[in-house]
Amino acid sequence: MKSKNTTDKVPMHPRNKHRDGYDFELLMSQCPMLKKFVFVNEFNTKTIDFANPEAVKCLNQSLLITYYELQYWDIPPFNLCPPIPGRADYIHHLADFLGQHCGGTIPTGDGVLGLDIGIGANCIYPILGHHLYQWSFVGTDINEEALQNCKRIISKNPNLVDYISLQLQTNIKYIFKNIILPEDKFTFSICNPPFHSSEDEVLQHNNRKTTHLNTAKGQNFSGNQNELWCEGGELTFINQMIYESAKYPMQCLWFTTLVSKKVHLKTIYNTLNRVNVAQHHTISMAQGQKNSRFIAWTFQTPQQIKDWKFE
């Protein structure tokens, strides 16, 4: 089994549209509602209060309208409001990874089918993946209300309608069971797993962030229960994902997931070895001062990977 580990700090992906920061003048011209949240800080730089969920949501709306050809995007209160640059980085690095392992050219078009585990209410990975590389997606979640919001986003953006489908995971004990069918051929799976192990841990994390940002304590960072935490936290979730993936070795070419805590990698590698993956890789990413990474694994041989058909 081959293993590649590249977790040193690296800059934001060179194709990331947000690599050089936010052009607030452009964003406000395309989305005037952003103006009320923009101010000039002590460094004479335009910015927003990133501890204000409404401001962050409005920034996301302006980014998606300006750079990703959306006509509409919204999420209910208390749902996770994803940082667009970080999510785009995952998509770009995944595209490069697929290119490296699928003939040397980044695969594009709707024949590339991704499985988004835990799409949430924001639908962000399918939105970015389709705009940037014309990929198709199946998005899954255990929360029916989240999927209804995704359905609303898709229906109000005609360019997404034929390329993103949604599926409810009716049994919260499983990740892939009832979702991946024998006839399915997913090019990849993608996931931003719950990274906390309890609601108390979420609140402690929130309080540390608000203290660092010098803001009043409170629920300043959006996200509902199943988006932010699960029993056992990130490591338990990813381990379960790996064990389940072994039951679908031919239905998905590359399984991938974000890993927010570097300390979890050793245990994750051990789990991958236990299920006899053919190979696994760790791909580094960085956004500002934050380092992150995703892991990718496959059960297929180099020849099977080479012969994979995008259809």
CA proximity to 73, closest of 126, 141, 143, 19: 126
Cβ atoms of residues 120 and 141 within 8 Å:
yes
12: its two tokens: 């934001």
Q: Which domain holds residue 192?
A: 2-8+80-306
Could you give the residue ranges of the DSSP H alpha helices within 102-213? 124-133, 144-155, 199-212
212: its two tokens: 């660092």
For residue 140, the Cα-to-chain-centroid distance in whole angstroms is 13
Residue 153 in any domain: the answer is: yes
Residue 36 in any domain: the answer is: no
Residue 72 in any domain: the answer is: no
User: Does the CA dihedral 243-244-245-247 come out positive or negative?
Assistant: positive
CATH number at residue 265: 3.40.50.150
Residue 262 in any domain: the answer is: yes
Provide the number of structural domains found in the chain.
Answer: 1
How much is the pLDDT for 122? 97
Residue 63 in any domain: the answer is: no
How much is the pLDDT for 199? 45
Which residue carries 């991946």 as its tokens?
180
How much is the pLDDT for 233? 85
The residues with which 6 forms a beta bridge, in sequence order, are 283
List of residues 6+ apart from 61 with CB closer than 8 A: 31, 33, 34, 73, 74
Residue 203 in any domain: the answer is: yes
User: In 29-168, where do the E strands start and end?
Assistant: 39-40, 46-47, 113-117, 136-141, 164-168
For residue 26, the Cα-to-chain-centroid distance in whole angstroms is 25
Residues in the chain predicted with pLDDT less than 70, given as ranges, are 1-10, 195-232
Residue 174 in any domain: the answer is: yes
